[in-house]
Chain A
Amino acid sequence: MITAPMNSCRHNRDSVRGVLVSLALYLFASVAQAAIIEVREGDRIQDAVNRAAPGDEILVYPGLYSETVYVDKDDITLRGLVEGDNWPHLNGKKQLNDAILYSGNGFSVEWFKITEYKGNAIMGQAGNNFSIRNNWVIDSGVYGIFPEFGENGLIENNILSGIEDAAIYVGMSDYIDVRNNQVFDNVAGIEIENSRHVLVEGNLAKNNTGGILVFITPGLPIKSSYDAIIRRNFVIDNNTPNFGIPGSLVSQIPAGSGIIVMSGDEVIIEDNVITGNNNAGIIITSQDFVTEIATDTGSDPNPDAVQIRDNVMFDNGASPEGEMKLLMLTRFSTTGPDILAYQGATKAERDNCISRRNAYRTYGVDDWADCDSPTIRATDAIAGREPAESTRGIMTKMLPEPAAPRVITADASGAELVYQGICAGCHAYNVRLIGPPTLAIQAQYGQDAGSIAAYIADPEKKRPDFPTMPPQDHLSEPMRQLVAEYMLALTN
């Protein structure tokens, strides 16, 4: 990596605006060496993103920034530079929608303080191999951190509070680790929704309405949620009255709920400390738990193969809410349980299990099987010889290799992109579109790509029955040549 000197960055900014240069940047980005682009208070982070090429790191100095940063490129790192109490601070002033939107692969963002946005603090749509670490998010809208449609990601060491829905929301994603985050004073602390292969470990979820949720929400295009480990988290005092947005799913969860699994399958809850949640410590339920939502026949409403293994639980259920209160009254009890299985979750055929059931106050798990309950000895823990009947040997749910990139390696020059994106709009291989067929052009020019490259920069009317071609002089000369060669080489 090389650090570009500040001055040259600033000089570059204006000249880079030219379409021609930025196209060249785009085309040759993959071969250029990665750079560090520095941003200081008064600059726009987005300008740096626009200048950046894949592999570049954008280093943001402490100071106040008020903008929406969007990253539609691959392999960009946004790194904040924290100096003592001074963070690079993104503030939406309750006027801006989202702080950071990304769609690129290999996106990393760390060391930012994000406050007062209306939508999300950090939102991803389909970016794979992401890393979101060490960010501090306060009162920033609907979701704090929300990767969606992503594969292989790490959400670690973030601190989030005051979020109206889920502070950390993993939506329709696969192979995600959520580790060592602190979430408090939110409606939902951590929500795993319609996602697979997820590890939620070592987080502190405190003073939320609900601490950690694993849901299948009906009506979404990816409909399953399975293979999640909820392990070694502290789920404490999640009794904040629900301030969720009316109509949202989490606005229906009762305050005082530690962990809720709604319809999720193959969820293992192990080695957590779950205390002081006034409704219930753990709730395992079918979709009947929420009512104000349309049925989705493609969505399995019941939780299957859930395992509640050893967790330390006490002081849960001090003042059950709503339906829980009525349920407990049928047992002549005014307190809620440590563990509740509800509606479709109670049945033996769900294949759920629980260990040390007598250690907890439970409701609805009578037909559940027993899970293993291993004793961990010091010698085992020290040597890393974890007992097979626990998940302790599983370190991560992320992929051993990054999710496959979608870079099109055969098109390093970008000629195919330009051809298919621009030329193919008017030229099909053997059919008349707006322009003549590619076959006809090949017949006319043979191997003479240079003449095509020259012609498309400044076309004149050639064929009486076709309109004049619009000039393509916005493409660089080398690109015009490459795309002309590409066109002449096409065989279908």
Chain B
Amino acid sequence: MMSSLLSLHCRRNADNTSGTSTCLAHLPSAGRRLLRVLLLVILPGQVAASDKASPAIQFKLVNTCPASFENHDGGCVLRNRYRKYRSLRDAGVGGLKTGLPPLREGFTPQQIDLGRYLFFDPVLSADGSVSCASCHDPAKGFADGRAQAIGIQGQTLMRSAPSLWNVGFLSTLLWDGSKRSLEEQMQGPLYSPVEMGNTPSQLLITLNASATYRALFEQAFGRPSIRLDQVYTAITAFESSLISLNSRYDLYAHGYHEALNEDEIAGLNVFRSFVARCAECHTPPLFTNQQLAVLGVADAPGKLIDTGAEGITSDASQRGAFRVPSLRNIVRTAPYMHRGQKPTLEDAARFYTGGRGHEVPKDKSLMIHWHIWEPKLTDAEITSLAMFLGALTDEAFMPETPKAVPSGLPLRHRLETARDNIAHLGAQ
């Protein structure tokens, strides 16, 4: 049943261009060749069509909540079985039947939908070349598939783009854990000269100059003049609607034990064992305890470049400390670690078997986390661990990528995805 469900995801994603990469693996090679030809034919036309602002498109925000949300007195509230469970001290960490941390929710359907348009619209960047989705591509687990993210004008960033699935539950954001809310966090990339390159005043001018956006903000906030805090609220509303809590693991956790096969259960037992200790930091139900941890992964062989949280706090004991990421939809977001140092999940798992500080240069010292030790996992255990992590995949509530955005600019992240796919196919 489950494998057919997964292939359905694939077929559904194939309906919108953003989902193509997840499906390529399933296609026979002839089909892939055909697709490559089709993409080459279609793409230039698509660019031309969307380069023109198309006044024919009428944008109207939906009045229904996203999948898995219910409308309660005008605000959208998550409906999920985990909400029936408690967690110790409401911390949202524990075991299988453990409640979630608080979610940013209660936004109106219109605010969420407006956030969706803003999220995909490159108009938010200084030169209209980069949208949020450029680095947080739905087809790539809301990350970008790169070791280090690429910002405006092709500038390479220091760290990899984190996934946004379940981001509305997080109370610490960014790899260095320095931001406490999505509103605060998004002002980093929006106004960073190496990410989206915009300025607050320029962004306001651009949006207020758009009759379409003024109309949409009126639908979402009741007044046509656009304020920056409304921009932040709308994008927060959309990002907080990205829920992935219905994986096969979750079925198991809720008590439907047949949802996982024997290998995956073996992997779960390795995951939570005190030998591998994965669950001590990647704690269910979100598979993160949201703490900082010093792992000692070298940025390049023999090199520590990124100071992590120390760069924010100037506390030397936090050198190389990074926020523990969630593992949900983890198979979608290779490569791994803060700088994409580990190409595959098995590579990432193997790091933990290498011993404390094995990648730290001899002349450097880090306060390596106490759970990093030498578990000496067997190959079979690492394989089952990776299989278990695959059972954390759930993209059923993938939001729809807009066919066009209010600015009329092309959906840049789609073009990039398509180009990557072509490059990928060409390499085969």
Q: Could you list which residues of chain A lie within 8 angstroms of chain B, going by C-beta atoms?
A: 19, 22-23, 26, 50, 68, 70, 72-73, 97-98, 101, 103, 118-120, 123-127, 141-143, 146, 149-151, 172-174, 219-222, 245-249, 292-297, 404, 406, 408, 416-418, 420-422, 424-426, 428-431, 433-434, 467, 470-472, 474, 492
Contacts of A26 in B (CB 8 A): 255-257
Q: A98-B274, A120-B273 are in contact. List 7 more A-B contacts (CB 8 A).
A: A72-B253, A97-B276, A246-B356, A294-B317, A424-B246, A428-B397, A434-B9
Query: Please, how many angstroms separate the alpha-carbon atoms of A57 and B1 in the complex?
Result: 33
Query: Please, how many angstroms separate the alpha-carbon atoms of A97 and B269 in the complex?
Result: 9
Chain B residues with a Cβ closer than 8 Å to the other chain, count: 74
Q: Given A467-B12, A492-B71, do A404 and B86 touch, yes or no (CB 8 Å)?
A: yes
Q: Is B70 a contact partner of A126 (Cβ separation < 8 A)?
A: no
A165 to chain B, nearest CB (A): 9
Q: Is A425 a contact partner of B255 (Cβ separation < 8 A)?
A: no
Query: Please, how many angstroms separate the alpha-carbon atoms of A333 and B305 in the complex?
Result: 47
Contacts of B276 in A (CB 8 A): 97
| B216 adjacent to chain A (CB < 8 Å) | no
Q: List 14 A-B contacts (CB under 8 A).
A: A22-B257, A72-B96, A125-B95, A125-B284, A142-B275, A149-B87, A174-B88, A295-B317, A406-B85, A418-B256, A420-B79, A431-B64, A434-B396, A470-B1
Q: Is B369 a contact partner of A219 (Cβ separation < 8 A)?
A: yes
- Against A, the Cβ 8 Å flags (1 = close, 0 = not) of B79-102 are 111001111110101111110000
Contacts of A433 in B (CB 8 A): 67, 396-397
Q: Is B289 a contact partner of A126 (Cβ separation < 8 A)?
A: no
Q: Is A294 a contact partner of B1 (Cβ separation < 8 A)?
A: no
Contacts of A408 in B (CB 8 A): 81, 84
Q: Is A119 a contact partner of B71 (Cβ separation < 8 A)?
A: no
Contacts of B66 in A (CB 8 A): 431
| B108 adjacent to chain A (CB < 8 Å) | no
Listed residue (A50, A126, A141, A408) with the most chain B CB atoms within 10 angstroms of its CB? A126
Q: Given A293-B317, A424-B246, A431-B67, do A221 and B93 touch, yes or no (CB 8 Å)?
A: yes
A101 to chain B, nearest CB (A): 6
A76 to chain B, nearest CB (A): 13
Listed residue (B89, B91, B276) with the most chain A CB atoms within 10 angstroms of its CB? B89
Q: Is A297 a contact partner of B313 (Cβ separation < 8 A)?
A: yes
Partner of A119, one of B8, B12, B96, B275: B275
| B333 adjacent to chain A (CB < 8 Å) | no
A167 to chain B, nearest CB (A): 14
Partner of A70, one of B80, B259, B269, B368: B269
Nearest chain B residue, comparing its CB with the CB of A123 = B274
Q: Is B94 a contact partner of A126 (Cβ separation < 8 A)?
A: yes
Q: Given A98-B275, A174-B89, A428-B68, do A149 and B95 touch, yes or no (CB 8 Å)?
A: yes
| B251 adjacent to chain A (CB < 8 Å) | yes
Q: Is A72 a contact partner of B274 (Cβ separation < 8 A)?
A: no
A266 to chain B, nearest CB (A): 16
Nearest chain A residue, comparing its CB with the CB of B64 = A430
Contacts of A219 in B (CB 8 A): 291-293, 369
Partner of A421, one of B96, B254, B283, B367: B254
Contacts of B255 in A (CB 8 A): 26, 72-73, 417
| B4 adjacent to chain A (CB < 8 Å) | yes
| B146 adjacent to chain A (CB < 8 Å) | no
Query: Please, how many angstroms separate the alpha-carbon atoms of A221 and B274 in the complex?
Result: 18
Query: Please, how many angstroms separate the alpha-carbon atoms of A472 and B4 in the complex?
Result: 11
Q: Given A68-B269, A149-B94, A294-B292, do A472 and B317 touch, yes or no (CB 8 Å)?
A: no
| B258 adjacent to chain A (CB < 8 Å) | yes
| B294 adjacent to chain A (CB < 8 Å) | yes
Q: Is A428 a contact partner of B67 (Cβ separation < 8 A)?
A: yes
Partner of A293, one of B93, B96, B370: B370
Q: Is B318 a contact partner of A294 (Cβ separation < 8 A)?
A: yes
Q: Given A97-B269, A248-B370, A294-B321, do A150 and B88 touch, yes or no (CB 8 Å)?
A: yes
Listed residue (B9, B68, B85) with the most chain A CB atoms within 10 angstroms of its CB? B68
Contacts of A418 in B (CB 8 A): 256
Contacts of A101 in B (CB 8 A): 269, 272-273
Q: Given A297-B313, A431-B64, do A221 and B269 touch, yes or no (CB 8 Å)?
A: no
User: Which 7 pairs of residues, A with B, have the shortest CB-CB distance?
Assistant: A126-B95, A126-B94, A125-B95, A119-B274, A103-B95, A97-B273, A149-B94
Residues of chain B in range 341-386 having any CB-CB distance to chain A below 8 Å: 356, 367-370, 372-373
Contacts of B369 in A (CB 8 A): 219, 247, 294
Q: Is A126 a contact partner of B98 (Cβ separation < 8 A)?
A: yes
Partner of A417, one of B67, B256, B373, B397: B256
Q: Is A125 a contact partner of B279 (Cβ separation < 8 A)?
A: yes
Contacts of B96 in A (CB 8 A): 72, 103, 125-126
Nearest chain A residue, comparing its CB with the CB of B93 = A221
Query: Please, how many angstroms separate the alpha-carbon atoms of A92 and B19 in the complex?
Result: 46
Query: Please, how many angstroms separate the alpha-carbon atoms of A174 and B394 in the complex?
Result: 33
Partner of B1, one of A151, A246, A434, A471: A471
Query: Please, how many angstroms separate the alpha-carbon atoms of A424 and B254 in the complex?
Result: 14
Query: Please, how many angstroms separate the alpha-carbon atoms of A431 and B76 in the complex?
Result: 13
Query: Please, how many angstroms separate the alpha-carbon atoms of A1 and B395 in the complex?
Result: 44
Query: Please, how many angstroms separate the alpha-carbon atoms of A297 and B84 in the complex?
Result: 32
- Against A, the Cβ 8 Å flags (1 = close, 0 = not) of B1-27 are 100110011011000000000000000
Contacts of B176 in A (CB 8 A): none
Contacts of A22 in B (CB 8 A): 257-258
Q: Is A417 a contact partner of B289 (Cβ separation < 8 A)?
A: no
Contacts of A429 in B (CB 8 A): 70
Q: Is A220 a contact partner of B94 (Cβ separation < 8 A)?
A: no
Query: Please, how many angstroms separate the alpha-carbon atoms of A124 and B272 in the complex?
Result: 10
Contacts of B147 in A (CB 8 A): none
Q: Is A126 a contact partner of B394 (Cβ separation < 8 A)?
A: no
Q: Is B97 a contact partner of A97 (Cβ separation < 8 A)?
A: no
Query: Please, how many angstroms separate the alpha-carbon atoms of A370 and B306 in the complex?
Result: 50
B8 to chain A, nearest CB (A): 5
| B250 adjacent to chain A (CB < 8 Å) | yes
Residues of chain B in range 60-78 having any CB-CB distance to chain A below 8 Å: 64-68, 70-71
Listed residue (B67, B80, B293, B373) with the most chain A CB atoms within 10 angstroms of its CB? B67
Nearest chain B residue, comparing its CB with the CB of A405 = B86
- Against A, the Cβ 8 Å flags (1 = close, 0 = not) of B247-287 are 00011111111110000010001101111100100011000
Q: Given A149-B88, A220-B291, A422-B251, do A142 and B274 touch, yes or no (CB 8 Å)?
A: yes
Contacts of B417 in A (CB 8 A): none
Q: Is A173 a contact partner of B88 (Cβ separation < 8 A)?
A: yes
| B129 adjacent to chain A (CB < 8 Å) | no
Partner of A126, one of B4, B87, B254, B318: B87
Q: Given A126-B98, A149-B95, A219-B291, do A470 and B370 touch, yes or no (CB 8 Å)?
A: no
Contacts of B5 in A (CB 8 A): 425-426, 470
Query: Please, how many angstroms separate the alpha-carbon atoms of A472 and B373 in the complex?
Result: 44
Nearest chain A residue, comparing its CB with the CB of B71 = A492
| B236 adjacent to chain A (CB < 8 Å) | no
